[in-house]
């Protein structure tokens, strides 16, 4: 693809953002569909100034990552109802200098899970109480699941549970809680602490599906132990992929080349798709 005067600009805003895998994923997709678009990282400290800049430069769409998912909200012209409930935005759509915010994190998590189990009517034990847990929790409720939050810190865990209208329990009691699905929405098990797992291996046989949002490493200790326990597993790359697929399709109105986007992510992480 040759960048020219008609090239449309997209990107990801965050701080830091240099490590993001999204440029590789989205540029691969734009190229595959021969779209005259390019996706670049924006290292942003001043959110208000960045939003003004996006309007002025005619940027068409932006992914939003840590630490700006909440801060962008006050600068939007409109917001999707589910993103408003979640209280976080990870996607901007910009038309004629008007910025609309939405959240595809929950769509990514739901689509990844739906490949393994029917979400509606399933019970879920969700580990964590941060931004990812919040988005996933709201998405699961939208899809008709019953959710329980488990976290190490009572204050944040109870606050999230209250906002979702669900029960909370301390993470120490998680191994005794029965559910169809277990989701790790914490950073436990992430490089360089790959030897850690958020829950004892002896408790995993109680779950049909185990999902881990950590994707470095791709095969976390939690997922390794879940497979040995006979669980179906979902790795963190699936959520990253499908939230990006939802962004791409929102921005372009075209079906995303999912396999190619997945391959670009795996390549960026040093893996090859079997």
Verify cis geometry, omega within 30 degrees of 0, for the bond prior to 172: no
Question: Residue 268 and residue 184: Cα distance in Å, rounded?
Answer: 23
Residue 14's SS3 state is: strand
* Cβ partners under 8 Å of residue 102, min gap 6: 79, 80, 82, 83, 89, 90, 91, 93, 250
> Burial, 3: exposed, middle or buried (Cβ in 10 Å; 0-12, 13-18, 19+)?
exposed
Active site residue 69: yes
Nearest Cα to 241, choosing from 207, 271, 209?
271
Among the listed residues 69, 98, 173, 263, the single catalytic one is 69
Residues designated as active site: 69
């Amino acid at each position: 693809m040759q960048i020219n005067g008609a090239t449309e600009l997209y990107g990801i805003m965050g701080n830091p953002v240099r490590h993001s895998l999204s440029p590789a994923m989205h540029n691969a997709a734009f190229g595959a569909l021969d779209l005259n678009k390019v996706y670049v990282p924006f290292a942003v400290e001043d959110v208000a100034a960045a939003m003004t800049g996006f309007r002025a430069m005619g940027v068409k769409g932006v992914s939003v990552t840590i630490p700006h998912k909440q801060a962008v909200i006050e600068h939007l012209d409109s917001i999707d109802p589910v993103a408003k409930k979640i209280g976080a935005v990870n996607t901007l759509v910009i038309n004629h200098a008007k910025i609309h915010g939405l959240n595809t994190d929950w769509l990514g998590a739901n689509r990844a899970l739906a490949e393994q189990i029917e979400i509606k009517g399933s019970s879920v034990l969700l580990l964590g109480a941060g931004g990812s847990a919040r988005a996933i929790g709201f998405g699961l409720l939208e899809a008709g699941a019953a959710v329980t939050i488990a976290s190490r810190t009572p204050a944040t865990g109870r606050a999230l549970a209250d906002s979702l209208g669900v029960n909370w329990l301390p993470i120490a009691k998680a191994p005794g809680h029965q559910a169809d699905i277990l989701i790790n929405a914490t950073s436990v098990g992430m490089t360089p602490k790959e030897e850690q797992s958020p829950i004892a291996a002896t408790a995993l046989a109680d779950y049909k599906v185990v999902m881990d949002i950590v994707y470095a490493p791709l095969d976390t200790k939690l997922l390794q132990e879940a497979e040995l326990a006979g669980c179906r597993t979902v790795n963190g790359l699936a959520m990253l992929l499908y939230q990006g697929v939802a962004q791409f399709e929102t921005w372009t109105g075209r079906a995303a080349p999912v396999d190619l986007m997945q391959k670009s992510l795996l390549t960026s992480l040093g893996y090859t798709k079997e």
